[in-house]
Amino acid sequence: STMSDRLYFKQIELGPMQNYVYLIGSAETRKVAVVDAAWEIDTILRLAATDDVEITHAFVTHTHPDHVGGRFAGTEIEGITELLGKCKAKVVVHKAEAEFLKELSASDIIKAESGDKIDVGGVEIQLLHTPGHTPGSQCFLVDNRIVSGDTLFIGSCGRIDLPGSNPEQMYYSLTQKLMALPDETILFPGHNYSDRPTSTIGAEKQTNPYFHFHSLKQFLAAMGYR
């Protein structure tokens, strides 16, 4: 059987900021990872129960509140802490941002590095470190699909004017890591900021303005850094 036959993959829009949450794993073993569980944890668990899948991992693209929970604009977002109270999942976060998940115990966390492959119920998910939006931003590659968090959106890229952002790193993440993927790779972003839920790396190469800078200097100038 091909990987696609064995893959369980679901894209869900949750919360007031158009976040995409993903459930990814094995259609055979029914074990899955949830990506960026911050909003409506009960909804996520209900969907998993309806589909008869068990959440064994919680993958984190980056530790901003709308992707992991915690305090945001004076309100408390449910997030990973609540998830772990309701299911036994290992949290996969890039080592550069593990320190920001202070409320979790060390035994709950897998500190990831670029290139690591995590086995979720027999399905291998590869981690790609793509700093820029944040120091530990990472994307997840599985079966010709890239889950890109806030690094790459359809038609744009993540903000680089926030604390911890780095425009130079963003340029290299976009041009050397994401643009290096095969054109047919399907893009699954961290927010619904477009008129469609998915794209491909090939389509983004043609239409995404952030893929069209031919030098770091040009990219920085366009971003307002002189």
Query: How is 76-103 classified by DSSP, letter by letter?
Result: EE-HHHHHHHHS--EEEEEGGGGGG-TT
Is residue 1 scored above 70 in pLDDT? no
Mean pLDDT of the chain: 95
Percent of the chain with pLDDT over 70: 99
pLDDT in tens, 126-166: 999 999 999 999 999 999 999 999 999 999 999 999 999 99
3-state secondary structure of 113: coil
pLDDT for 47 beyond 90: yes
pLDDT confidence of residue 197: 98
Neighbour-count burial of 100, counting CB atoms closer than 10 A to its CB (0-12 exposed, 13-18 middle, 19+ buried): buried
* pTM for this model (two decimals): 0.96
Which amino acid, one-letter code, is at 154?
I
pLDDT of 163-209, one tens digit each?
A: 999 999 999 999 999 999 999 999 999 999 999 999 999 999 999 99
Q: Name the amino acid, one letter, at 156.
A: S
Mean pLDDT of 206-220: 93
Cβ 9 vs Cβ 145: under 8 Å: yes
Phi-psi domain of 117 (left: phi exceeds 0; alpha: psi -120 through 50; beta: other): beta
Task: Count Cβ atoms within 10 A of the Cβ of residue 34 and give its class: 0-12 exposed, 13-18 middle, 19 or more buried.
Answer: buried
Report whether pLDDT(101) > 70: yes
Distance separating alpha carbons of residues 144 and 141, to the nearest angstrom: 7
**Res. 73: pLDDT tops 80:** no
From the list 211, 132, 146, the residue with the least C-alpha distance to 182 is: 146
